[in-house]
Amino acid sequence: MKQSKLLIPTMRENPNDAEAKNLQLLLRAGFIRQVSGGVYAYLPLAMRVLKKMSKIIEEEFEKIGAVEIQMPTLLPLPLLEKSNLDDYDGKAYNLKDRNGKEFVLGSVYEGLISELIGDEISSYKRLPLTLFQTTTKYRNDKRSRLGLFRSHEFILSDAYSFHATTNSLNEMYQAYQKAFNRIFERLGVKVKSLLGDSQINGQTDVLEYMVLSESGDKIGCFSDESDYAADLQAATSAFTSKKSHEPHKEMSKVVFDECKTLAQAAEDLDIPLQKTIKIRFYIAGSQPVLVLVRADQKVNELKVKKMLQVQELKVADETQAEQYFNSPLDSIGPVGVSEDCKIYADLQVQDLANALTGGNEVNTYLKNVNPDDDFPIEQYADLRLVKEGDISPDNKGTLQLKKGIEVGRMIKVGTYFSERLKTAVLDENGQHIPIQMGYYELGISRLLAMVVEQNSEQKGINWPAEIAPFDLHIVQTNMDDENQTVLTNQVEEMMMEAGYQVLVDDRQERGGVKFADADLIGCPVRITVGNKADEGVVGIKFKQTQATIEVKQEELVSTLSILMSSES
């Protein structure tokens, strides 16, 4: 294909407003253009890469029995509400048609596909069934960032499997794990799998796929001595009780003349922060609950939801604080709380003696508070966010926190949607059973960005061979040299007959400009037709290793076959 016939608007310098590495390179190499913040146009080179990526995913999904579908972009709002999905709320583009009917611009499909299966399948004999689509989804974030990592619209492959039994779901879950690993290997991207958190149901198994990146917006926790890996929200750590043997003192009230935070009060009273109890007031479903952690720790709300087995956990507001405690929110304490409000505490709290906590009055704190003696604890559990240096839950090494980008996830959704949408099949005994579901997604545009970040250097992108926009980039250095033109055309024809995808730089540009653009674009091999064209000699350069060699025209196909095999 002639480069003069393609739209490849390369740039010499990074755009001023492009901070993410992937965005800088894709813009400079002429793969994409930004239409507005978080919205991008994919130009011809990007489309060739995206199609190859989608083809790889399609091939690997079909190997495990998945079949392709295409769901609509306009999703009826009532169906999402019936599915009880919080994910779309506040993050979707809502719109109405001319009749006033409300829709959401394609963001989540679990409920829609579940209802489709419930309408069309009535017997367990039709299961298992797994479907997938590759589509554009939309996210109404307050602002976009990190280039294609966090954009308002993004390309995604999402798959859904449906089963009559848990064993069947487990088998497909494992099959998708193997498929994902093959996909990442073929794409040439290094990905880590880790335990994740579910926005659908806190009780489900979740596996996330993260690519480590200092510009990432996710945090993963990794043991430095074992294979343990988990998203920060899902991570746990080993707990060893270090119960204080300090004699319990009499509880007393401390009133300050001015408003002070718990940390400030502890400092004024010369009490270590590790001996203070921080209170978080929530409405769990419809019930008020207090969650207690040491003041040097943070509450992990996902763990609280899992412990309480609730779908909704909201931070209480000032009105609710006055209603239940007759106290400002920042003065709430656990002593004297009504029985209607259950108290749950992190495991570390049970080790405390003579602690400091809120006093349920303005500017008031309680000293020498002892859990269980001075207030009842409904349950102790691991309710905190882990921290760097915590002991790994398998007691092998300590946890290291690393930033990354989530590029995929899979969830054992189970019967969450079938129970809410009343979808069931008849089992072998003629009894109605809810359908089990699994969900599997890969962010294609995110993976595109991450391939670029992991496979690039200052001069440009180094595309992995299987997804490169072209296999070979032929550069004719002088378009006015007839010998070069004849040899270029012959080499192009030879390479295409040999099965290579070829891009030919036929532009009236200086050789230096063409070489710089070739480096930016990043095809695996560059073939230079230059000063030795009259001798039938061309130069070969491998982008990844920068290795170069000169060969005769007649030896080009065989030499390239050998060298490309050794390079890969």
Mean pLDDT of the chain: 90
Q: Please say whether the dihedral angle defined by the alpha carbons of residues 507, 513, 516 and 520, taken in this order, is positive or negative.
A: negative
Element (H, E) at 445: helix 444-454
Q: What pLDDT, on a 0 to 100 scale, did the predictor assign at position 535?
A: 92
pLDDT tens for 360-404 read: 888 899 999 999 999 999 999 999 999 999 999 999 999 999 999
Q: Tell me the sheet residues that pair with 129.
A: 162
Sheet with strand 379-381: strands edge to edge: 313-315, 277-284, 287-294, 342-346, 379-381
Q: Which pLDDT band holds residue 82 (cuts at 50, 70, 90)?
A: low
Question: CA torsion angle for 8, 14, 18, 20 (degrees, to 10)?
Answer: 90
Mean pLDDT score, 27-54: 94
**What Cα–Cα distance (Å) separates residue 413 from each residue in 75, 119, 234, 416?**
21, 19, 16, 6
Residue among 381, 379, 344, 367 at smallest CA distance from 248: 367
Share above pLDDT 90 across residues of the chain, in percent, rounded to a whole number: 67
Q: Which domains does the chain have, with CATH numbers?
A: 3-235+400-452 (3.30.930.10), 252-381 (3.90.960.10), 470-567 (3.40.50.800)
Q: Lowest-confidence range among 34-38, 433-437, 489-493?
A: 34-38
Residue among 162, 198, 200 at smallest CA distance from 84: 200
Q: What pLDDT, on a 0 to 100 scale, did the predictor assign at position 148?
A: 86
Element (H, E) at 44: helix 44-63
CA distance 7 to 306: 52
Could you give phi then psi for residue 131, rounded to 5 degrees? Answer: -125, 150
Q: Which pLDDT band holds residue 330 (cuts at 50, 70, 90)?
A: confident
- What lies within 8 Å, CB to CB, of 512 at 6+ separation is none
Question: CA torsion angle for 128, 134, 136, 140 (degrees, to 10)?
Answer: 40
The answer to whether residue 86 scores a pLDDT higher than 70 is: no
The answer to whether residue 87 scores a pLDDT higher than 60 is: no
Q: Is 363:331 a contact under the CB 8 Å cutoff? A: yes
The answer to whether residue 214 scores a pLDDT higher than 90 is: no
The answer to whether residue 230 scores a pLDDT higher than 90 is: yes
Q: Which pLDDT band holds residue 204 (cuts at 50, 70, 90)?
A: low
Q: What pLDDT, on a 0 to 100 scale, did the predictor assign at position 88?
A: 45
Question: CA torsion angle for 287, 292, 293, 295 (degrees, to 10)?
Answer: 120
CA angle at 425 for the pair 424 and 429, rounded to the nearest 5°: 130
**What Cα–Cα distance (Å) separates residue 17 from each residue in 8, 122, 144, 220?**
20, 54, 12, 28
E strands in 249-398: 252-255, 277-284, 287-294, 313-315, 342-346, 355-358, 364-369, 379-381
Q: What pLDDT, on a 0 to 100 scale, did the predictor assign at position 112?
A: 85
Q: Lowest-confidence range among 68-77, 145-154, 345-354, 540-549?
A: 145-154
Q: Tell me the sheet residues that pair with 211.
A: 405
Mean pLDDT score, 55-66: 97
CB atoms closer than 10 angstroms to residue 205: 16
**What Cα–Cα distance (Å) separates residue 252 from each residue in 263, 270, 354, 364, 556?**
18, 15, 10, 11, 88
Q: What pLDDT, on a 0 to 100 scale, did the predictor assign at position 568?
A: 58
Q: How many residues does the chain have?
A: 568
CA angle at 343 for the pair 341 and 344, rounded to the nearest 5°: 140
Q: What pLDDT, on a 0 to 100 scale, did the predictor assign at position 65?
A: 96
CA distance 159 to 176: 9
Report how far apart the first and last C-alpha atoms of the chain are (Å, whole number): 24
Q: Is 8:45 a contact under the CB 8 Å cutoff? A: yes
pLDDT tens for 236-257 read: 999 988 888 899 999 999 999 8
Q: What are the contacts of 325-332 at 24+ separation with CB within 8 A?
A: 325/281, 325/360, 326/360, 327/358, 327/360, 327/361, 327/362, 328/362, 329/281, 330/259, 330/261, 330/358, 331/358, 331/359, 331/360, 331/361, 331/362, 331/363, 331/364, 332/279, 332/281, 332/290, 332/358, 332/360
Q: Is the link from the previous residue into 334 a cis peptide, with omega within 30 of 0? A: no
Q: Which pLDDT band holds residue 339 (cuts at 50, 70, 90)?
A: confident
Burial class (CB in 10 A: 0-12, 13-18, 19+), 438: buried
Amino acid making up residue 187? L
Ramachandran region, residue 24 (left: φ > 0; alpha: ψ -120 to 50; beta: rest): alpha
The answer to whether residue 440 scores a pLDDT higher than 50 is: yes
- What lies within 8 Å, CB to CB, of 88 at 6+ separation is 80, 104, 107, 108
Q: What pLDDT, on a 0 to 100 scale, did the predictor assign at position 29?
A: 95
pLDDT tens for 275-309 read: 999 999 999 988 999 999 999 999 999 899 889 98
Residue among 563, 508, 568, 512 at smallest CA distance from 541: 563
Q: What pLDDT, on a 0 to 100 scale, did the predictor assign at position 146?
A: 77
